Amino acid sequence: MWVLLMGAIVVLSFTHCLYRWRNPKCNGKLPPGSMGFPLLGETLQFFAPNTSSDVPPFIRNRVDRYGPIFRTSLVGRPLIVSTDPDFNHFIFQQEGYLFQSWYPSTFTEIFGRQNVGSLHGFMYKFLKNMVLHLVGPENLRKMISEVEAVATTRLRQWSCLESVELKDETASMIFDLTAKKLISYDSENSGENLRENFVAFIQGLISFPLNVFGTAYNKCLQGRKRAMRMLKNMLQERRANPRKEHMDFFDFVLEELAKDGTLLTEEIALDLMFVLLFSSFETTSIAITAAIKFLLNNPHVLEELTCEHEGILKARENPDCGLTWGEYKSMTFTFQFINETVRLANIVPGIFRKALRDIQFKGYTIPAGWSVMVCPPAVHLNPEKYVDPLAFNPWRWEKCELNGASKHFMAFGGGMRFCVGTDFTKLQMAVFLHCLVTKYRFKAIKGGNIVRTPGLQFPDGLHVQIVEK
């Protein structure tokens, strides 16, 4: 009898908890959706690999069922997902008032608790201005010749090989350039390979967050730990042996750390360097690899792109001079091509915010403390905005704004947190494409398949042969 009674109590308790989980309290009407299982939510479905270039099945299936704004739960946290352009725009415009930047605790573990994405208000603006010291317009003007020299050297080396794996090689090229500008790191003269730690980090970045030995997520955390140890050692060495002149961004950071009353701490400085090293090369190398894949699949686009860049060479008075800032800014079709590349590649699968108080929108209530995920792929592949959205068509950007963000284009974020490194990314892509199409021919050897988990990956790489014209 007592056994049956206890069993009934357990069943009733579990049923009550399950009901409360699937029907959260709300001072209004929650968006429709499913919360999945307690704690786990719908995490497994969200991270399930897919090979489609269309809106991820996890998002598409729920939009079909619930509409453009729906609720779910990921990694034990309630979440509102938005594919609604108006709601997305509202979220970005209300940054710092109704919403603030937020990332899952697993991302915070990976990028550091004091990373720039997790900071708000004046502290965020302070760090953003520091980064602009590195990648602002004036510095990019000075950097263009260096970017061209690095691209020229690497392409010459690759042309001597039977084939190169483009994703890995472009990542190496960009990492070496960025690490030199940030911390004067030279991979050839360093006793430890800094980039290897970032490779281990990246492999588990967008994976199921199970911190058990041998999992991708665990390897990711270990890669971060090793990279942070190297950066901390560099920081201590620089402090012990300060340089009279600024030679890299680290010198600028150290000068700020030494000021009386500075907002910067060593922990924030190290997390900032880590995030800058990661974001500057990983996303750009994926974008370049996707760009080459699109060129290989669309010969008419390659022809138009080549025509623009060969026109730049023909218009020069001195054919031996390097790329100028004016020539770079004249690359109209190239910028259309870059926009189309990042629109279709959808490198960033979600942008996260958190509601600071109960928010009413289109009859729904977003409870205070709930997280919101803006879904760029659903926006970028909306057939109501983009005719034949899965087609690669750079000409669709003619007479369109090619910089900044909008309701219908958020490849580089939006609002006050629009990616500060956007211009640096575009510069590297445009200069690399200029060096490639004016001096080389290229063809696919193998690979090029994509998998989204949910971020974009090239599991078997993209192997190409590059031959001098």
User: What confidence tens digit (pLDDT) does each residue in 231-245 have?
Assistant: 888 888 888 877 777
In this prediction, residues 369-374 reach a mean pLDDT of 93
Confidence of residue 152 (pLDDT cuts 50, 70, 90): very high
On whether residue 29 sits in a domain, the answer given is: yes
Share of the chain above pLDDT 70, in %: 84
Which of 116, 275, 308, 267 lies closest to 205 in space, CA to CA? 275
Burial 9-35, CB ≥16 within 10 A → b, else e = eeeeeeeeeeeebeeeebeeebbebbb
Token pair 């990956």 in the structure block, residue:
457
Residue 158 pLDDT more than 80?
yes
On whether residue 165 sits in a domain, the answer given is: no
Residue 12 pLDDT more than 90?
no
Which residue has better confidence, 13 or 89?
89
Residue 330 pLDDT more than 50?
yes
Phi, psi of 176 (to 5 degrees): -60, -40
pLDDT of residue 110: 62
pLDDT of residue 14: 46
pLDDT of residue 20: 59
Six-digit token pair at 88? 């997305």
On whether residue 40 sits in a domain, the answer given is: yes
Annotated binding site for heme: 419
On whether residue 289 sits in a domain, the answer given is: no
385 to 51, 69, 220, 379: CA distances (angstroms): 24, 18, 38, 8
- Least confident range of 134-148, 192-206, 386-400: 192-206
- According to DSSP H, which parts of 184-258 are helical? 194-203, 216-240, 249-257
On whether residue 368 sits in a domain, the answer given is: yes
In this prediction, residues 245-259 reach a mean pLDDT of 81
Residue 211 pLDDT more than 60?
yes
Residue 372 pLDDT more than 60?
yes
On whether residue 62 sits in a domain, the answer given is: yes
pLDDT of residue 6: 56
Residue 192 pLDDT more than 50?
yes
pLDDT of residue 115: 57
Cα–Cα distance for residue pair 313/318, rounded to 1 Å: 9
Residue 16 pLDDT more than 50?
no
Residue 336 pLDDT more than 70?
yes
In this prediction, residues 390-397 reach a mean pLDDT of 96
pLDDT of residue 428: 95
Confidence of residue 185 (pLDDT cuts 50, 70, 90): confident
On whether residue 154 sits in a domain, the answer given is: no
Annotated binding site: 419
pTM of structure: 0.88
Confidence of residue 161 (pLDDT cuts 50, 70, 90): very high
Burial 327-362, CB ≥16 within 10 A → b, else e = bbeebebbbbbbbbbbbbbbbbbbbbbbbeeebebe
Q: Are 145 and 139 in contact (CB under 8 A)?
A: no
Neighbours of 90 (CB within 10 A): 17
CATH assignment of the domain containing 358:
3.30.43.20
What stretch of H or E contains 365? strand 364-366
How confident is the model over 65-120, as pLDDT tens digits? 999 999 999 877 899 999 999 999 999 999 888 998 887 666 666 665 655 555 55
Residue 383 pLDDT more than 50?
yes
Structural domain count of the chain = 1
pLDDT of residue 208: 60
pLDDT of residue 189: 62
On whether residue 92 sits in a domain, the answer given is: yes
Cα–Cα distance for residue pair 291/42, rounded to 1 Å: 32
- Burial bucket for residue 207 (CB in 10 Å: 0-12, 13-18, 19+): middle
Cα–Cα distance for residue pair 355/340, rounded to 1 Å: 31
How confident is the model over 22-45, as pLDDT tens digits? 567 778 899 999 988 877 888 889
pLDDT of residue 425: 92
Mean pLDDT of the chain: 84
How confident is the model over 266-323, as pLDDT tens digits? 888 888 888 888 777 778 999 999 999 999 999 999 999 999 999 999 999 887 789 9
Cα–Cα distance for residue pair 318/357, rounded to 1 Å: 61
Residues 6+ apart with CB under 8 A from 453: 47, 48, 49, 50, 206, 207
374: containing domain = 24-112+350-380
Share of the chain above pLDDT 90, in %: 46
Residue 221 pLDDT more than 80?
no
- Least confident range of 62-66, 385-389, 455-459: 455-459
Q: Are 35 and 71 in contact (CB under 8 A)?
A: yes
